[in-house]
Amino acid sequence: MRKNAEAIAIYSRKSKFTGKGESIGNQVELCREYVRNFFGEEYADRCVVFEDEGFSGGNLNRPAFRDMMEGVRKHRFKAIVVYRLDRISRNISDFASLIDELTKLEVSFVSIREQFDTSTPMGRAMMFIISVFSQLERETIAERIRDNMHELAKTGRWLGGNAPTGFKSEAVSKVTVDGKTRKSFKLVPIPEEAEIPKLIFDLYTETDSLTAVEAELLRRRIKTKQGKDFTRFAIKAILQNPVYMAADEAAFEYFTQRQADVCFPREAFDGKHGIMAYNRTDQEKGKTTVLLPVSEWIIALGQHPGLVPSGQWIKVQESLERNKSKGYRKPRNNEALLTGLLFCACGQRMYPKLSKRFTADGQPIYTYVCKMKERSKRQRCNKRNANGNVLDMAMIEQIKALTEHDSSFLNQLEKSRQFYTGSRQQYETQLAELRAEYGENEKTINGLIDSLAMVGDSIAKPRVLKRIEELTETNREIENRIHELEGLTSTNALSDGEFDLLRQMLSVFQTNIDEMSVEERRAAIRTVVRKVIWDGVNAHVVLFGAEEGKIEYPDMVSRYADTEDESTPLG
């Protein structure tokens, strides 16, 4: 139980208003009385009540319930009290997930009618029993899905979603043994686009480097299906995808030796088809998609041709595994102040790069380097690096100068406040809409999975599976957007008190700058500076309040460019 949370939440729900029996008013009073008896009069007076009337217990998509859970996640409550368990949900899976989340957040859950209290040994035992049933339900669903994957694997069909680079999805008709015609999909090569994955495999085979492949693709201005520049992550995803691999005897040996579930006999691997791999990734809700071990894959022959010889594909996998430990790692103890604020004039972010040298007073020397310059090996951007030590000090001097003019300084702070507040409200609205859409999609997916048992081998089965895949892909995109917006709201969540504190801190910026930590200096700069643009010679500061499209870049500092890739020692 959280010691720093000061309130208890009471939740009540009723499907429709009746004015008698277990009405919302009666539920709340009974819960408040429980709080008074077990937590004390002080907590009873400070209870926060959340009421949903006219909502069923079939799911958790209810406005007051969502508001309560938002408060729980912000650690405002030490416990949730309800009159009966079904006031929360009649769905055991939803309820088990809720209890699991509350346990992680150290928030107790109390149901008066069933005498269910997770802060007691009996309550925790009940929670464990519910979790067991929930786990059994999840495993049963997973087993049903895997059984369906086995059936699909025998057809080598494409299940839908975004086709891999080099292919498009094409509908085909297939007559089954019962005489019914069913529509399925297969991958068909796009002649020009199919050359891209072939080139990527050839470049990697030649260089043994994701970075080198990325630089060459940037130099040639080759784009992804979405019209974006290739990144190392997109390149690696192509290299690891067995869809490009020719299905021959070497491929059969590779997968059987790694204990993959191969659905076709050795003689079927004749080199004329590509590989279709099912169950390659773990896409658990709320977590980053993870590539599963080959032993968990279901391997089938696709209806498409392989683009890459099996021997080349296998050698690439061995190389990727060897090079795992050579990935780039950001330097520790980063002293740079403009990380996240500094952009190159080419539009890409600039990041700090430490040298092995130090200034006369012992500070590490670092430069700001354009991300595009590094990725493209100077082919797409070749602007000079910025001397990080000097540029950061120049920024501090500019903030000092700004604080000398009190009226303009306060005016700028107010513009900053308006920007933060407005942005945060927009983000919160978008988050609420995305979470609601995600929840509805999850409910639909679960319903479709349950319906698979009923549709059997009917003509509707492929359409149900395709719809599950589409909704799953949609929710992956929504989940990524939610994480992105949550990061923005947390960054922009500055209260009035925090703004006043920053104003006071900046007002004495000139006198206490030497006592500030790196984090405090960064916070001070971000209070008034929206971004900094580096053109290779000059740095231009954009303050909050400047309108997009009408930004003027006043010179802040000139001649702070490096002539070499490493910084020039100061002293």
Q: Which residues contact 34 (CB under 8 A, 6 or more apart)?
A: 81, 110, 112
Predicted confidence at residue 493, as pLDDT, reads 46
Q: Where in the chain is the domain with CATH 3.90.1750.20?
A: 155-323
Confidence of residue 563 (pLDDT cuts 50, 70, 90): very low
Predicted confidence at residue 511, as pLDDT, reads 65
Q: Exposed/middle/buried for 343, CB within 10 Å: 0-12, 13-18, 19+?
A: buried
**Alpha carbon of 476 to those of 101, 132, 164, 508: distances in Å?**
21, 27, 17, 47
Q: How far apart are CA 250 and CA 30, in angstroms?
A: 70
Predicted confidence at residue 132, as pLDDT, reads 60
H or E stretch including 519? helix 518-528
| Phi, psi for residue 348 in degrees, rounded to 5 | -90, 155
Q: Model pTM?
A: 0.48
Listing DSSP states for 113-169 in one string gives TTTEETTSHHHHHHHHHHHHHHHHHHHHHHHHHHHHHHHHHTTT----SSPPTTEEE
Place of tokens 């008896």: 37
Predicted confidence at residue 424, as pLDDT, reads 55
Q: Where in the chain is the domain with CATH 1.10.287?
A: 420-493
Write out pLDDT tens, residues 334-374: 678 888 889 998 888 898 988 888 877 778 889 999 988 88
Write out pLDDT tens, residues 37-96: 888 888 988 899 998 887 776 678 888 999 999 999 999 999 999 988 778 876 666 777
More confident residue, 404 or 305: 305
More confident residue, 55 or 204: 204
More confident residue, 226 or 159: 226
Q: How far apart are CA 435 and CA 441, in angstroms?
A: 10
Confidence of residue 3 (pLDDT cuts 50, 70, 90): very low
Average pLDDT, the chain: 77
Tokens of 203: 């470049």
Across 241-251, average pLDDT? 94
Predicted confidence at residue 562, as pLDDT, reads 53
Tokens of 276: 């279709």
Predicted confidence at residue 27, as pLDDT, reads 83
Distance of CA 227 to the CA centre of its chain: 21
CATH 3.90.1750.20 correct for 155-323: yes
Predicted confidence at residue 50, as pLDDT, reads 93
Range scoring the smallest mean pLDDT among 76-90, 168-182, 196-210, 246-260: 168-182
Q: Where in the chain is the domain with CATH 3.40.50.1390?
A: 7-140
Predicted confidence at residue 250, as pLDDT, reads 94
How many CB atoms are closer than 10 A to CB 62? 21
Range scoring the smallest mean pLDDT among 18-27, 197-206, 549-558: 549-558
Query: Coil, strand or helix: which one is 300?
Result: strand
Write out pLDDT tens, residues 436-476: 888 888 888 877 777 776 666 677 777 778 888 888 888 87
> Class of 420-493 per CATH?
mainly alpha
Range scoring the smallest mean pLDDT among 91-105, 246-260, 392-406, 465-479: 392-406
Q: Which of 205, 203, 185, 462 is nearest to 313 (CA)?
A: 205
* Model confidence at 158: pLDDT above 70: yes
Q: How far apart are CA 453 and CA 458, in angstroms?
A: 11
Predicted confidence at residue 76, as pLDDT, reads 92
Q: How far apart are CA 35 and CA 275, in angstroms?
A: 61
Percent of the chain past pLDDT 70, that is, above it, reads: 68
Q: How far apart are CA 20 and CA 25, in angstroms?
A: 9
Across 97-116, average pLDDT? 83
> What fold characterizes domain 7-140?
Rossmann fold (3.40.50)
